[in-house]
Chain A
Amino acid sequence: MKRRQYVIGWISLAVAFFLFVVPFIYIFLIAAKSAPEASRLAFSLPTDWQLLQNLIDVVQARNYTLLLAYFNSTLITVGGVTLMVIFGAMVGYVLQRRNTPWNRIVFGMVMAGLIIPPAVVPTIWVLKEIGLFKTIHGMVLIQVAYGLGFSVLLYRSFIGTIPRDLDEAARIDGAKPWQIFYKVILPLLKPVTVTLIVVQSITIFNDFTNPLYYLPGKKNVTVQLTLYNFQGQFTSQMNLLFMNILLVTIPPLIVFIFFNRQIVAGMTSGAVKG
């Protein structure tokens, strides 16, 4: 039995390595090659290491578009995740604690937000009508709308594990409803909040299609869209494209490595009373 577990463990590690690490190495190798060599797309060590030069070229391309993209993406990610955390926790709290006929309607809408796929063209029409099309804050609101259902669901179930006695004790201590939420409930939601921040910030940062639809314009570029810089109909600079991929992959990777432990803690907390 021991031996079998050992073998299975190694096989799964090998598969995971092949699926996740090999592509990453491939990206790194091509990002270090010169343009002609990179265009062959071979899995081989570069004959001439050009990692630094490629990095400079990518950053400087099209008048430092990548830096602007980093700025925009960070803005959208931070704004979107902040709103999602605040509203998700608030809606989840009210849905869990207060028992009114409205709850079912609101919960139905939350579920609809999770189930029904977003329609692009009507959304653009709405955005245009209210003057939010091609704006960063419009994009933030889109991301919040797409992610709010998930965050409400996550918060609601977690708040269910916080005893109601705490709310009541705070009420007797003289706390107003908003004080109960901010001083008692919100600090206790930290594990879920960390999970949500990590999961959603990676999702939003890595989002390619939504900024493509809702945020056209040179000034509005986001990191995933900078990949188009080096890919044309007639010429493609594979070394720069892969360097770009490498650069936009690194921030989510760092976030994930640092918060990995908390994500698991947040996903499982509430399962066992602690």
Chain B
Amino acid sequence: MAKVELKNLHKAFGAVEVIKGVDLVVEDGEFCVFVGPSGCGKSTLLRIIAGLEDATSGGILIDDKDVTNLEPVDRGIAMVFQSYALYPHLSIRDNIGFGLSLTKLPKAEVAKQVEAAAETLQLTDYLDRKPKALSGGQRQRVAIGRAIVRDPAVFLFDEPLSNLDASLRGQMRIELTDLHAKLKTTMIYVTHDQVEAMTMADKIVVLNGGQIEQVGTPMELYNNPASPFVAGFIGSPKMNLFSGDIAKELGCTTYGIRPEHITLDSTGTWQGIVRHLERLGADTIVHLEVAHLGSALLVRAQGDIEYHVGQTLYATPQAEREHRF
């Protein structure tokens, strides 16, 4: 249980500055997700919190204690890596108990805690196997088990689901959310996948180019994005964003409207021709070529709607759902 505070954090590799002054508070027990495109510094930020990288300047407080210059082990954190980073030569039991075996804890106590963690993660039957004899999802659970036994104040996850297939990823998202509900520990989770961010987070931190773009709950970011970047990053399919003359005409520098906030009809604001239809089952994504906007407009329509390519349609944005930047 701990609050994590980052104070004016900077990190440079040589002349390249990758973290450009980050101030952030992650409240006690919160599930906080760092999200952003590749190279935005989210993993580096997590590694600085973990203590695997040193910050060039600035400070980190965990539970009001300055840990900026402490070793990872003294910060009360546990980390789950993208590659799982299981020790290949050790059994699952020894993998989970590795950290505890380094402390002066009696062997029986270590065994008890390992069993308990394995129980939580349904790994009891696999304790004597080697990591290579497990599936991807099971390895991921072992990595989480290794973090749980250390009873950390803060869990750090570095893109833990990106090596799993889509269905398993969905399942693990639920398991992680359940785990968070059960442990009620502060968790910081890094991902480039906005779906993971939206589905799991209490608080999302959108990073771009080493700086925080916006902090908020998933629905805050969805409803009130602070910048075109956040607007384009959160939500799937992406928000339609227009700049230049069109935006000026609409009274802003960038105009945005989400695909689900446009209605298609035989009359309306923008005339366009259907170029492409993506049938997703429940929904159909219509790619509408609108000459007036100068580019394609994505519109989310009902799944069973009977449009065809080449058809002329009119699109109307829902007035209260428009975004002007």
Contact surface of A with B, Cβ cutoff 8 Å: 163, 165-166, 168-175, 179, 183-184, 187-188
Q: Does B292 contact A (CB under 8 A)?
A: no
Question: With A179-B102, A187-B89 as given contacts, are A173 and B81 in contact (CB-CB < 8 Å)?
Answer: no
Are B73 and A163 in contact, with the CB atoms below 8 A?
A: no
Other contacts beyond A172-B77, A179-B102: 7, CB < 8 A? A168-B79, A169-B85, A170-B87, A170-B98, A171-B72, A172-B73, A173-B102
B87 touches which of A168, A179, A184 (Cβ 8 Å): A184
Q: Which residues of B (62-90) have their CB < 8 Å from a CB of A?
A: 71-73, 77-79, 81-83, 85-89
Known interface pairs A165-B81, A168-B81; A173-B89 also in contact (CB < 8 Å):
no
Cβ contacts A to B, 10 pairs, < 8 Å: A163-B83, A163-B85, A165-B82, A165-B83, A165-B85, A168-B79, A168-B85, A172-B78, A173-B102, A173-B150
Minimum CB–CB distance for A98 against chain B, Å: 14
| Distance of A80 from chain B, by nearest CB (Å) | 26
Give the number of A-B contacts (CB < 8 Å): 51
Give the shortest distance, in Å, between A161 (CB) and chain B (any CB). Answer: 12
Given contacts A168-B52, A179-B102, contact A173 B88 (CB under 8 A): no
Chain B nearest CB: distance from A173 CB in Å? Answer: 3
Interface residues on B, range: 20 to 34
Partner of B50, one of A166, A172, A179: A172
**Neighbouring B residues of A179 by C-beta, 8 Å:** 102
B171 at the interface (CB under 8 A from A): no
Identify A173's interface contact among B52, B73, B82, B83, CB under 8 A.
Answer: B73
> B146 contacts the other chain (Cβ, under 8 Å)?
yes
Chain B residues near A (Cβ < 8 Å) = 50-52, 71-73, 77-79, 81-83, 85-89, 98-99, 102-103, 146, 150
What's the nearest-Cβ distance from chain A to residue B249, in Å?
51
Q: Which of A172, A174, A175, A183 contacts B79 (CB under 8 A)?
A: A172
CB < 8 Å: which of A174, A183, A184 contacts B73?
A: A174
Assess the A169–B102 pair: CB atoms within 8 A: no
Choose among A168, A172, A179, A188 the residue with the greatest number of B CB atoms under 10 Å from its CB: A172
The distance in angstroms between the C-alpha atoms of A168 and B43, with both chains bound, is 14
Smallest distance from the beta carbon of B125 to chain A beta carbons, Å? 24
Q: In the complex, what residue of chain A is closest to B132 when comparing beta carbons?
A: A274
Q: Give A171 to B79 CA distance when docked, in angstroms.
A: 10
**Which partner residue on chain A sits nearest B50 by CB separation?**
A172
A183 to B99, CA, bound (A): 11
Minimal beta-carbon separation of A176 from chain B (angstroms): 8
Docked complex Cα distance between A179 and B51 (Å): 18
- Known A174-B99, A174-B102, A188-B88; judge A169-B81 contact (CB<8 A): yes
Contact A188 B89 (CB under 8 A): yes
- 10 nearest A-B residue pairs (beta carbon): A173-B99, A165-B85, A174-B73, A169-B85, A187-B89, A172-B72, A165-B81, A165-B83, A174-B102, A172-B79
Q: Which residues of B contact A173 (CB under 8 A)?
A: 73, 98-99, 102, 146, 150
Give the Cβ gap from A238 to chain B, nearest Cβ, in Å.
Answer: 52
Q: Which residue of B lies closest to A164 (CB)?
A: B85
Please state if B89 and A174 are interface contacts (CB–CB under 8 Å). no
In angstroms, how far is the closest chain B Cβ from the Cβ of A187?
4
- Given the known A-B contacts A172-B73, A173-B73, A175-B102, are A166 and B85 also in contact in the complex, defined by CB atoms under 8 Å? yes
Q: Report the bound CA distance from A175 to B99 in whole Å.
A: 7
CA A150 to CA B102, docked complex, whole Å = 33
Tell me the minimal C-beta distance from A244 to chain B in angstroms: 43
> Which residues of the partner chain B approach A171 to less than 8 Å between Cβ atoms?
52, 71-73
Specify which chain B residues have a CB less than 8 angstroms from the CB of A169 in the assembled complex.
79, 81, 85-87, 146
CA distance A169 to B98 in the complex (A): 10
Shortest B188–chain A CB gap in Å is 14
Which residue, A165, A179, A184, has most C-beta atoms of chain B within 10 A? A165
Question: Which among A173, A179, A187 has the highest number of chain B CB atoms within 10 Å?
Answer: A173
Give A170 to B87 CA distance when docked, in angstroms. Answer: 9
Q: What residues on A are CB-neighbors of B52 within 8 Å?
A: 168, 171-172
What is the CA–CA distance of A171 and B52 in the complex, to the nearest angstrom? 8
Partner of A174, one of B85, B88, B103: B103
B87 near A166 with CB under 8 A, answer yes
User: CA–CA, A237 to B85, complex, Å?
Assistant: 63
Which residue on A lies nearest to B75, using beta carbons?
Answer: A172
Q: Within the assembled complex, what's the spacing in Å between the Cα atoms of A174 and B146?
A: 12
- Give the residue name and chain of the A residue nearest to B147 (CB): A172
Nearest-CB residue, chain A, relative to B52: A168
In the bound complex, what is the Cα–Cα distance between A244 and B65 (angstroms)? 73
Bound CA span A114–B99, Å: 40
Contact residues in B for A165 (Cβ distance below 8 Å): 81-83, 85
Chain B min CB distance to A19 (Å): 40
Q: A166 to B83, alpha carbons, bound, how many Å?
A: 9
